[in-house]
Amino acid sequence: MLIKRPTDIPSSEITDKETYLNRRHFMQSAVGLAMLPLFSEAQAGYGNTPLKHEKAERFRIDEELTPYKDISSYNNYYEFGTDKYSPAKQAQQLTTDPWSITIAGHVEKPGTYSLEDIMKPHALEERIYRLRCVERWSMVIPWIGFSLADMIKRFQPTSSAKYVKFTTLERKSEMPGLRRRVLDWPYVEGLRIDEAMNPLALMAVGLYGEVLPKQNGAPIRLVVPWKYGFKSIKSVVKIEFVDRQPVSSWEQAAPREYGFYSNVNPKVDHPRWSQKRERRIGEFLKRKTLMFNGYEEQVAYLYKGMDLRKNY
């Protein structure tokens, strides 16, 4: 997310990143073949905690995966600083075990559940999704998690549950970013209940075969691949079933720029920049941004008859 206007970003920051990525790309193509066995061994060894999972065939896209190193070092997680490189350092101090999630609101089985309880009924699966940030970069990430819809069904929301509101942990002692009021903490996000029940919506607990890096939202975060990245709220501690549309943190901070829906949409510009194109991290040329981030077939029905210029 951008708080600063794009012109305030020192060009050195951008150049450094691009030079770095291009160099890496060159390295891979030049020595890629020779490196192959070593490289896949390294991939198997990310972090220390592998997660048992199956590959979910219907939730995989056939695009080159963004390297683990980029996914885990170029992050947005404002609780740990507003620049892209702070979360990888600062989030390491976050205690993610024990962890619990409070289920509240219009639901038959409210309560505070340990992460183990939340996860127990669900088989973990790997899903390869695009993630498109509103700032015009994108990644392809092999997440590990379980369907949000399956989780929701278990808690039995009542007919008054029209929306689902998610809240991130707010722990000042471990989140240095909270000292600055860049957002009205805690970070809050929301989905309409039918959006939340779409099979694409994922509760992620890992990526690249391992437990989630803390900077990516450990121990559990939402992934909504057809919406701009900021809807995919990290380190969730509360899920509430509500009857009114919740106000998300970004909507609250800049309502003209960030709406409740925030579907990826190349036809609706951000007030300060076009959303027609994006840079895939690791690539040089820009790509066209796809409607609903490429998930049109799976989600267009949710927005039939809605004016997506008004409901941005």
- Interface residues with ligand MTE (CB under 6 A) are 1, 75-79, 131, 133, 168, 187, 216-217, 229-230, 232-235
First-residue to last-residue Cα distance in the chain: 16
Q: Is-contact 166 103, C-beta < 8 A? A: no
225 touching Mo ion, by CB under 5 A = no
- Residue 138 host element (H or E): strand 137-147
Q: Indicate which of ligand MTE, Mo ion, none lies near residue 241 (CB less than 5 to 8 Å, by partner kind).
A: none
Tally Cβ neighbours within 10 Å of residue 202. Answer: 25
> Distance between CA 284 and CA 67 in Å, rounded?
15
- Name the residue nearer to ligand MTE (CB basis): 72 or 198: 72
250 touching Mo ion, by CB under 5 A = no
- Which of 55, 119, 117, 87 is closest to 213 using CA atoms? 87
> Distance between CA 29 and CA 17 in Å, rounded?
18
Task: State which amino acid sits at residue 245.
Answer: Q
> Distance between CA 298 and CA 179 in Å, rounded?
40
SS3 label, residue 142: strand
To ligand MTE, the closest distance from the beta carbon of 137 in angstroms equals 8
From the list 32-40, 87-95, 229-237, 262-270, the region that binds Mo ion by CB under 5 A is: 229-237
From the list 18-26, 97-105, 131-139, 238-246, the region that binds Mo ion by CB under 5 A is: 131-139
Q: Indicate which of ligand MTE, Mo ion, none lies near residue 234 (CB less than 5 to 8 Å, by partner kind).
A: ligand MTE
Out of 230, 241, 260, 292, the only residue in the binding site for Mo ion (CB under 5 A) is 230
Q: Indicate which of Mo ion, ligand MTE, none lies near residue 167 (CB less than 5 to 8 Å, by partner kind).
A: none
Number of residues that bind Mo ion (CB under 5 A): 5
- Name the residue nearer to ligand MTE (CB basis): 53 or 132: 132
Tokens 């075969």 appear where? Answer: 209
Q: Is-contact 135 4, C-beta < 8 A? A: no
To ligand MTE, the closest distance from the beta carbon of 226 in angstroms equals 14
- Name the residue nearer to Mo ion (CB basis): 113 or 137: 137
Q: Indicate which of Mo ion, ligand MTE, none lies near residue 246 (CB less than 5 to 8 Å, by partner kind).
A: none
Give CA separation, 20 vs 13, 15, 284, 300, in Å: 11, 8, 11, 37
- Name the residue nearer to ligand MTE (CB basis): 106 or 175: 175
Question: 3-state SS of 239-301?
Answer: EEEECCCCCCHHHHHCCCCCCCCCECCCCCCECCECCCEEEECCCCCCEECCHHHHCHHHHHH
248 touching Mo ion, by CB under 5 A = no
To ligand MTE, the closest distance from the beta carbon of 41 in angstroms equals 24
Q: Which of residues 41-70 bind Mo ion (CB under 5 A)?
A: none
- Name the residue nearer to ligand MTE (CB basis): 106 or 211: 211
To Mo ion, the closest distance from the beta carbon of 1 in angstroms equals 5
From the list 62-70, 71-79, 108-116, 187-195, the region that binds Mo ion by CB under 5 A is: 71-79
91 touching Mo ion, by CB under 5 A = no
229 touching Mo ion, by CB under 5 A = yes
To Mo ion, the closest distance from the beta carbon of 254 in angstroms equals 13
Tokens 């190193």 appear where? Answer: 69
Question: 3-state SS of 25-52?
Answer: HHHHHHHHHHHHHHHHHHHHCCCCCECC
Pairing status of strand 137-147 against strand 202-207? antiparallel
Enumerate binding residues for Mo ion (CB under 5 A): 1, 76, 133, 229-230
